[in-house]
Amino acid sequence: MRIFAAALAAFLVLSGVASAEAPFWELKPTGTDAQLRGLSAVSGQVAWVSGSKGTVLRTVNGGRTWESVGPPGTSALQFRDIEAFDARNAVALSAGTGESARIYRTSDGGRTWQESFRNTDPDPAVFYDCVAFFDRFRGLALSDPVGGKFRVLRTWDGGRSWHVNSTEGMPDALPGEFAFAASGQCVTTSGNHAWIATGGGAKARVLESRDGGRSWKASDTPLPSGPAAGVFAVAFKTPWRGVAIGGDYEKPTDPTPAFATNNGHGWTAGKQAPVGYRSGIAYRGNGLVAVGPSGTDVSLDGRSWKVADTGSFDTVDCVGFTCWASGEKGRVGRT
């Protein structure tokens, strides 16, 4: 019986079911009050976070200490997304319009940075939201629609240079449609596939590419859409198994379901969904972790959900069963 109880306890911990005595997140003080919407988990020890006030932080010891390693002279920028390959190599995206939309790359742990992209298009519609990589070399950065179609940057050299992708393979955007720079998860990849999460228009959609970002196909989702509503984050375990989550950020506790699954044949409303707006989601093993300003929810099977924490977070990223989350006022947590 003792052996069974120990095995059960271990299973519950690995599955993400927190006990009443143990909080789901162990908070890791960062020493900043910046809003940290960008997050990249490399391992249980190494993670990068980024956000307002030009903030980029790195830990290599599980969050016990953090280094402030942001590019110099960028305190006016908002690094809404960051993608790290290891403890030394990372790409940070500054969201915004005009020349505030930039991409930086470091290969020495943040001691020095290369500015690899700066927007020079004066069109006010240009607004870069998020970035994602297929591997250490190929990546995409997403802007809201320009001239009626989403604009995508592509890189083939690990973020050292970027090129505007042709829009010939991009479907027309809906009136009012855009992406949310809320969690760095409005674009994601798996294998050679990529997905773009949208909202703002008459329908909340996900655009999918199966050829590395050259061409795209739009699919409707059952999530609500509107000026402040839509799909905020997408995550895929494999190219044929994924989820979408969101809601309305102006109604953070709205019970309207805002979660859908995809098995390679379109989007289906989840049988159960977290209550309230959720801006970030990630696979934890075969389960899921979703976060938002009103709390954290966990699911072991993608069908049923349990409230795990009521603290505010904007984004989440997991490596195996170890997850990191970050958000307002410099909050960072690790499972």
Confidence of residue 4 (pLDDT cuts 50, 70, 90): very low
Show the DSSP H helices in the chain as ranges. Answer: 2-15
Distance between CA 331 and CA 335 in Å, rounded?
14
pLDDT tens track for 262-280: 998 899 999 999 999 999 9
Does pLDDT of 206 surpass 70?
Answer: yes
Q: Shortest CA distance to 291 belongs to which of 225, 228, 245?
A: 245
In this predicted structure, what is the pLDDT of residue 6? 42
Confidence of residue 8 (pLDDT cuts 50, 70, 90): very low
In this predicted structure, what is the pLDDT of residue 10? 44
Q: Which whole-number Å values give the CA distances from 175 to 97, 107, 145, 150, 202, in the listed order?
A: 19, 40, 10, 12, 8
In this predicted structure, what is the pLDDT of residue 257? 95
Does pLDDT of 18 surpass 80?
Answer: no
Distance between CA 231 and CA 252 in Å, rounded?
14
Positive or negative, the CA dihedral 224, 298, 41, 327 is: positive
Length of the chain counted residue by residue: 335
For 22-334, give the CATH class.
mainly beta
Does pLDDT of 323 surpass 60?
Answer: yes
Q: By mean pLDDT, which of 21-30, 39-48, 108-117, 290-299 is the weakest?
A: 21-30
Q: Shortest CA distance to 280 belongs to which of 298, 262, 267, 254?
A: 298
Residue ranges of the domains in the chain?
22-334
pLDDT tens track for 295-321: 999 999 989 999 999 999 999 999 999
Q: Shortest CA distance to 49 belongs to which of 81, 17, 22?
A: 81
Distance between CA 206 and CA 44 in Å, rounded?
30
Q: Shortest CA distance to 232 belongs to which of 175, 170, 314, 328?
A: 314
Q: What proportion of the chain, given as a percentage, has pLDDT over 70?
A: 93
Does pLDDT of 21 surpass 80?
Answer: no
In this predicted structure, what is the pLDDT of residue 264? 86
